[in-house]
Amino acid sequence: MEPELADLAEDVIFYLPRVPGFDQIERDGYLYTASDRRASVHHVRLGDVAAAVAWTRKETRRRDLPKIEWWLGWKATPADLVDRLAAAGLEPDDVQPVLTGMVATEPPPGTPGVDVRRIETADDYIVALDLERRVWGQPPGDPKRDRERFDAERATTGSFVADLDGEPVGFGRAIDGARFVALMGGAVLPEARRRGVYRALVRARWDHAVARGTPVLVVQAGPMSAPVLARLGFRSFGQVRVYSDRLESSHGDDRS
């Protein structure tokens, strides 16, 4: 059965094809995903919460990752799941504890004067990733690894850069689903904000979705992006709560 728009808004990662660089493991009642940098849990429909917590911790330690993000949509079960996870030591994520599942099925407005182009070379990709890291206060990346990442992603993931006055000032990522395109990250340099750069990046990815015959954009938006996307015509379906299981902390015998 094809997912409804609300299903996509709640659990977009569950409905995406396998993304290079991410392992996806379907377990009994949840999807576990992991890369060399992060681990997360999605589409949570649990029977045995304790067993799921134990398995994800064991698997994530095996991968030498410091934490697991649990993304809990509005259909996550059991009803007392949050209380059970809190009892196990999980806490609301300290970066984005609440996201909004949103979908657009009509064209959002663009921005005259902002040039957006799809990244076609590894050199441009490295420049765009450095821009994104600057926005989020992250250290510079490894160019060799970034080139490898570009080669691995380009079949399923589109990266877009926005230019103002000939200089790159914004970056956006999109992953192609079977019948939709998922927005996966956007960043604009502080000095270029309030000039329509983010809006132009959204429109470019809409145009990409239309060109491939899948005119639907899906996003799980943070608190800064959600109001902007609402003004661009995105419909909100509900909230996704993100909880972190920090394995480097000492919260009980199973974390020691």
If you average pLDDT over every residue of the chain, what do you get?
91
At residue 125, the pLDDT reads: 87
Quick check: is 228 in a domain? no
Total-model pTM? 0.89
Q: What is the CATH number of the domain that holds 185?
A: 3.40.630.30
Residue 9 structural domain: 5-100+240-255
Same domain as 207, residue 181: yes
Same domain as 78, residue 9: yes
Same domain as 122, residue 91: no
Least confident of 70-74, 116-120, 145-149, 205-209: 145-149
Same domain as 119, residue 160: yes
pLDDT at 254 over 70: no
Show the 3-state SS of the chain: CCCCHHHHHHCHHHHCCCCCCCEEEEECCEEEEECCCCEEEECCECCCHHHHHHHHHHHHHHCCCCEEEEEECCCCECCCHHHHHHHCCCEECCCCCEEEEEEECCCCCCCCCCEEEECCCHHHHHHHHHHHHHHCCCCCCCHHHHHHHHHHHCCCEEEEEEEECCEEEEEEEEEECCCCEEEEEEEECHHHCCCCHHHHHHHHHHHHHHHCCCCCEEEEECCCHHHHHHHCCCEEEEEEEEEEEECCCCCCHHHC
Number of domains in the chain: 2
What is the tens place of the pLDDT at every residue in 129-170? Answer: 888 888 878 888 888 888 888 887 777 788 899 999 888 999
Quick check: is 176 in a domain? yes
Same domain as 18, residue 87: yes
